[in-house]
Amino acid sequence: MLHGCRSREVAPGPDDFLRNKKSEWEEYRSEATAFAEDGCAARSRTADIPAA
């Protein structure tokens, strides 16, 4: 027989789901920003090398 209560171990509530999505997005954004900044720095260093 099913009762109206839900175990938090089975499925996270909507607040937990959104909190997890927000933290995943923040982690992705910080990694993507670091990658983009590193890539821009590498391009600017190669721009200083004179063409042969």
Global pTM reads: 0.45
pLDDT tens for 20-42 read 999 999 999 999 998 888 776 55
pLDDT at 38: 78
Cα distances (angstroms) measured from residue 41 to each of 30, 33, 38, 48: 17, 12, 5, 11
For residue 12, how many other CB atoms are within 10 A of its CB?
Answer: 13
